[in-house]
Amino acid sequence: MRCVIGIDVGTSGLKAVLCDENGQVLATASEKYPVEYPNPGWAEQDPEYWEKAFIRVVPVLLSKGKIKQDDVEGICLSSQIDGVVLVDDNGNPISKAIIWMDRRATKEQTFIEERIGKRRLYSITGMVPDPAHPAAKILWLKNNYENIYKKAWKILQPNDFMINYLTSEAVTDYSNASCTMLFDIRRKKWNDEICEELGIPIEKLPDIRPSTSIAGNLRKEIAEKVNLRPGIPVVVGGGDEEIGAVGAGAIDEGTVLDIIGTAEPVVMSVNEPKFDEMMVVECHCHGHPDKWLLENPGILSGGIYSWLLETFLEYERRLSENEGRNPYELMNSKAEKVNIGCDGLICLPYFMGTVVPEWNPDAKGAFVGITPYHKKEHFIRAVIEGTGFAVRDTIERFSSIGIPGSSLIVAGGGSKGVIWRKIRADITGLITKSPVIKDVTAYGAALIALVGIGMYKTVEDVVKLIKYEASIAPDPMSHEQYLELYKLYRELYCCLKEKFSRIRV
């Protein structure tokens, strides 16, 4: 049996999937690890968490899959993007990884905007200046840890770090490079002028290769720890959303992918770089090495659902524990009993600011229209609808750029709930489908591995292996109702947006 392993280095844990050459999942395994918050607005991880999780997960995967050592012919990685870790010339970390949610580099973001210019930066890199993006974090390290920064051999993102750990090679892919604010999105190379103006030496950055290329071979000492054959190829892979687009089969231009997790990024595949005049939507490189993605990082989504459960639904939590049910399934069943529009209750899902309909870090969450009539189930459904309106916001931006959404693929843990998919179909007016394998990131890495080691010639060939649940067509009457509610949702944002900054938390 010929097999590959797909690895996803996530924020809360590492996930792995073992697939055969037909794309059949033979086993999955995962291990959680913490995020550290040493100061307000900071978020870090020790890269050793990722290394140890890999060492622990892979043997479990092989055991569950009941396969032989020689059956595994390749590994591919995907990971959280927008992280930065400094390593020495042996590949050892000399700093904690400053991960994607860290917001400390605000002064550096301002410096980049002033030095490069917001529109100029966007026109070259496709990126909106933000402290989350690696260039700002690199400058923060340079400004605050100068001695460590000078000692660094390479500046790596999480995916790059794991590639180096497994192969000793310093390699990144188009998708990770395209998130840095240092990358020419058209030419697919580091931009000399931006790097020079920001004082970031290109020689400290990893080499850039396509996602389907082989980064290097698995080091003997790592192979022995996880019972794999030394020297098997490690395929480059890429960022989580971008590789997830492959795992979901979102590679045709106009196909929209909505990944419902803690956050809810929304992306669209395009055949060439496209740019948003309002700079709401960024342009990244796709996990497919010859495609690009229009991306909006999305709003907190499943995270609001979890907050609602933990904060207000103690009865439902206890009931689900007693009955051995998933509490989110119980919440979904309650939401199904509520009318469209939640009998006048609307949720503005800006619990951690918003990036749609515009970038507004001051935005706050709100439930508008509360009356004594409203019950728990109204609030539950209002969250599903409110986050659905935010998805429509992003699709509207895609359309304004000149590429209307042709279909919608809904993936991630939230897509297990049929009501989430149904409401998104009705709000957007798009036929909606969902892959059977919801964890599209690790699975996408496995599919990329199959291409990288030569089992399939192209990404187009390998995505034919993906299986989907039955499609959901939008109901015309429901769609008309949601059109009116969406207008009201947008008007409420406009009414409140000038007030949000006066609300102090």
Domain limits for position 65: 3-243
pLDDT reported for residue 298: 84
One domain for residues 214 and 141: yes
280 domain-assigned? no
Spatial contact of 427 and 386, defined as CB atoms under 8 Å apart: no
Q: What is the largest CA-CA distance in the chain?
A: 66
Residues 186 and 70 in one domain: yes
**Please, what are the averages of pLDDT over each run of 10 residues along the chain (505 residues)?**
95 95 97 94 95 98 94 97 96 96 94 97 96 96 96 98 98 98 98 98 98 98 97 97 97 96 93 95 97 92 94 95 94 98 98 90 95 98 98 96 95 95 98 96 98 98 97 98 98 96 84
331 shares its domain with 191: no
Whether residues 186 and 325 share a domain: the answer is: no
| Cα–Cα distance, 396 to 387 (Å, whole number) | 14
462 Cβ partners below 8 Å, 6+ apart?
A: 23, 246, 447, 448, 450, 451, 456
144 & 223 share domain? yes
Q: What are the tokens at 370?
A: 């509360």
Q: Give a yes or no: residue 265 inside a domain.
A: no
Q: CATH code at 58? A: 3.30.420.40
In a domain, 351, yes or no: yes
User: What pLDDT is attached to residue 1?
Assistant: 84
Residues 111 and 239 in one domain: yes
16 and 152 part of one domain: yes
Q: Can you give the pLDDT at residue 263? A: 87
Q: What integer pLDDT is reported at residue 262 of this predicted model?
A: 85
Question: 398, exposed or middle or buried, with CB in 10 Å at 0-12, 13-18, 19+?
Answer: buried
The alpha carbon torsion through 157, 85, 56, 442 (nearest 10 deg) reads -20
Q: Which of 243, 267, 288 corresponds to the end of one domain?
A: 243
Q: Please check whether residues 9 and 113 belong to one and the same domain.
A: yes
Cα 155 to chain centroid distance, Å, stands at 21
In a domain, 337, yes or no: yes
Residues 214 and 357 both lie in one domain: no
| 236, 309: one domain | no
The pLDDT value recorded for residue 95 is: 95
The pLDDT of residue 361 is 84
Q: How many domains does the chain have?
A: 2
Residues 54 and 169 in one domain: yes
The residue among 327, 332, 308 whose CA lies nearest residue 317 is: 327
Contacts of 94 (CB under 8 A, 6+ apart): 86, 87, 88, 148, 151, 152
Amino acid in the structure at residue 326: N
Both 34 and 160 in a single domain?
Answer: yes
Task: Say if 222 falls within a structural domain.
Answer: yes
Query: Is 284 among the domain residues?
Result: no
Between the CA of residue 218 and those of 224, 235, 291, 310, 452, what are the distances in Å?
10, 10, 28, 43, 14
Residue 156 forms part of a structural domain: yes
Residue 226 counted as domain residue: yes
Preceding omega of 210 cis (within 30 degrees of 0): no
